[in-house]
Each structure stands twice: as structure tokens, then as C-alpha cells.
Amino acid sequence: MRTELYVSTRFGELTTNPTGAWTHPYFLPAAIPRALQLSPESMAAVSRADIALGRLSGLAMLINDPELLLGPSMAQEALSSSRIEGTQASLSDVLSAESSDEPIEDENLREVNNYLDAAAQGRALLEKWPLTQRFFCALHATLLANVRGEEKFPGELRRSPVWIGSPNARPETARFIPPHQDRIGNLLADWERFVNEPSTMPPVLRAALMHYQFETIHPFLDGNGRIGRLLIGFMLVADGVLNAPILPISGYFERNRDAYYDRLQAVRERGEIEEWVQFFCEGVEQQANQAAARIRALVEIRERYRREAIGDRSALSSVIDLIFRNPVVTVATVMRHAGVSRPAGSAALRRAEERGWVRSAGRWGRGGRERWIATEVWAAVSSEDAFGESV
């Protein structure tokens, strides 16, 4: 690790364990500040992010429809967060796997599916648990179950050093060495106090500091980034800003992956907390505005479809509900959702196709089942075309 780059001690300092087996220097973060004096530029960024979140929250409360708010947008969030860590998958394949009743064989898709499971688990646990080590360790166990990294103690804090850098980096060449495992307990105790104690600090600023500190502590051997990004949404819910984790922040981090890592590292090396806060708030503002626009588009489409389906005696109305949960559907998913026979499910999809709601996207998976894509819903939630290519 290039120790000469660490020129600020404002948010932590380099140290060693001279009597232990690990002799390399590591970064020991300071306690999370409970107050920050920010520049007018940073305060303006915080204010814009708060306003965007307020608009998103108000829209979500008016709609009060979890399936419409979370639905495929959560799959997009899971995919973006996983791709930051190197997972190779497309949204069409993720949604196709989600709509299938077959086991997921592709490990990349299992990783994204685990993220979705961890997100659903977190929503349920947040109703009875605070944001503590117990909470995020439970999510971590789900995230790494039966995928790459499952040998790295899912759900358990690391008991050995780690270092961050290129794939072949050694401690001497690492860009960053997180705190020694013996320090994690005290650091997480401060993290827990910060996220749960009453505060006059703006919630967006609290989320920015929480995420920075979690990634710096790096409490697990693997999966720290994905858990840390999940915690952003859950903290905004816990702080009463959102009623569900509907902010797809990982899309912004994926688009700006290098800057994301650089801004976190700049806090450690040079104490550049304002630059991190501005970067984080810009992401919150962008993604909240995009989420609000997406929700408005989906509501308009859904209400139009419902008007068009009035008087139809088939399972067409069930298709409407289904495609807003997942715009990639099969006859089998219509059968399960509507409780109808295969001919009735097929007929409902054909009627939806006649109305221009869905179109065939060919066959997918081991069974070669035909999948249908709800084109307008897909366009509202995805940056990919219907076959998984970026557009």
C-alpha cells in the first residue's frame, strides 16, 4: 500500500499491529462524525437530493402499491449492484429466471437472485429489527448462499485481513487495506450507534457517511459492496424518508464505477469528505428523479391497460397485474398467477399481444419456453432492449 498517499488524518489514519503476525500498515477509520461543517456547494447538493427524495416519497405514498414501486426496478437495482462487482448478466435474463419455475443454473443469475432475496429479507426484517450487525449479517448469509464466495463465511464477520487492489495485488501493492479484524468490533459498535441514534443531520448526509464507513470497515471477506449499497435504501426507510427501499442508487454507481471507488478512497487518503458527499447526493438526486418518472409512466400505462380490458371475460386483467411485477412472462406464469388452464393462459397472452401490450421474445432456458415481453413496461424500467443488449 502506498502509505505516502495517506496525507490526511481527519477521517482515520494508517497504523500497524507491531506485536501481531500481520505487520502491514492498514487504515483505521475514525469514529463517524456526528456533525459536519459543509461548504455552500455541498449543502446545496444535500438540499437537492432531499427535495428529490421528498418528491419520490410523496409519489410513492399516493400510489401505495408495493408491486408497482418495487417490481422490476428492484431487479434492475440488484443487477447494477452485482455488475459493479463483476457479475455478468442482462436484465432480460434476470427477469426470465425470476419468472421461471426451473432451478437457476447460471451462477451469475444466482448471484443477482440472491441479491433480490436479501433485499426482500431486509424489508421483512426491518419491520422488527434495527440496523445492526445482526441485520446485515443475516442479509450477507443470504447474499452468498450457493454462489461464488460461499466459502468466505457467509453471515460472519471476517477473521483475517483483506486488501483491495488489482486481482493480483499483494498487501505491498494494494490500493487500500481495511482495518485489522481485531478492530472491527469497536468500529461496528460506533457504526450501529450512528445509524440508530437520533440526529439533526440531514438523512441523505447520514446515508452518505454510513455507506462510506461501512465500505471502509469492510467487515466481510466478500460482498461488502453489495451489502453496503443495500443498506443505503434501508437506512432511508429507517430514517422515515422512504416507506420502502425504492431508490435504485446502484445504477448511478455502476455508470460512474471508477469515480465511485475514487471518491471513497479520496476520503481515506486526503480527507475529501465534501467531494464524496457531493458525488453521493448527485446520485441520489438523479436516481430519485428517474424513479419518480418511471413510477408516473408505469401508472399511466397500467391505468390505460385497465380501461382497455374493461368487459374482457378472459384472464387479460390478470396479465395486467402480472406484467407490472415482471414484464417478462410465460404461459406458465399467467397460469400460476391467474389460476387458469394452459389454453386460457395462452389465450390471455394472445389477447394482450393483439392489443400491443406484449410481444414474443423467443424461447429461453433449459425447457425452451416461449417468453413474452411487455414492451411499454420494459421501456419504462430498463436501459436494455428486450434481448438484453444495452441501448
Domains by residue range for the chain, with CATH: 3-293 (1.10.3290.10), 314-381 (1.10.10.10)
pLDDT over 60 at 11, yes or no: yes
Using the Cα atoms of residue 83, residue 89, residue 92 and residue 97 in order, give the sign of their dihedral: negative
Of 11-15, 324-328, 339-343, 382-386, the one with minimum mean pLDDT is 382-386
Highest mean pLDDT out of 59-73, 98-112, 132-146: 132-146
Q: Which three cell numbers stand for residue 228?
A: 453496503
pLDDT at residue 100, as a whole number: 73
Which residue is associated with the grid cell 457531493?
Answer: 278
Return mean pLDDT, the chain: 90
- Report CA 185 to chain centroid distance, whole Å: 25
What's the pLDDT tens digit per position in 164-207?
988 788 888 999 999 999 999 999 999 999 999 999 999 999 99
What's the pLDDT tens digit per position in 147-167?
876 678 999 999 999 999 887
Instruction: Provide the greatest CA pair distance for the chain.
Output: 79
Please give the helix or strand (H or E) that residue 373 lies within, else none: strand 369-374
Which residue is associated with the grid cell 413510477?
Answer: 295
pLDDT at residue 385, as a whole number: 53
pLDDT at residue 196, as a whole number: 97
What's the pLDDT tens digit per position in 220-244?
999 999 999 999 999 999 999 998 8
> Average pLDDT for residues 322-340, to the nearest whole number?
90
pLDDT at residue 389, as a whole number: 42
pLDDT at residue 23, as a whole number: 87
pLDDT at residue 390, as a whole number: 39
Q: How far apart are alpha carbons 30 and 90 in whole angstroms?
A: 39
Which residue is associated with the grid cell 445509524?
Answer: 195
> Average pLDDT for residues 120-125, to the nearest whole number?
96
Please give the helix or strand (H or E) that residue 193 lies within, else none: helix 184-196
Would you report the helix, strand and coil content of the chain in percent, each value rounded to 5?
Answer: 60, 5, 35
- The one-letter amino acid code at 129 reads W
Question: Which residues make beta-bridge pairs with 369?
Answer: 364
SS3 of residue 14 by DSSP? strand
pLDDT at residue 261, as a whole number: 97
What percent of the chain shows pLDDT beyond 70?
95
Which residue is associated with the grid cell 441514534?
Answer: 197
312: how many CB neighbours lie within 10 A of its CB? 13
What's the pLDDT tens digit per position in 17-45?
877 788 899 999 999 999 999 999 999 99
pLDDT band of residue 208 (cuts 50, 70, 90) is: very high
Q: Which three cell numbers stand for residue 192?
A: 450501529
SS3 of residue 79 by DSSP? helix
Residue 135 exposed, middle or buried by CB count within 10 Å (0-12, 13-18, 19+): buried
CB 112 within 8 A of CB 75: yes
What's the pLDDT tens digit per position in 254-285?
999 999 999 999 999 999 999 999 999 999 99
Inter-axis angle of helices 66-84 and 91-99, nearest 10: 130
pLDDT band of residue 391 (cuts 50, 70, 90) is: very low
More confident residue, 92 or 55: 55
CB 28 within 8 A of CB 14: yes
Question: Which residues make beta-bridge pairs with 328?
Answer: 373
More confident residue, 373 or 364: 373
pLDDT over 80 at 69, yes or no: no
Q: How far apart are alpha carbons 304 and 106 in whole angstroms?
A: 37
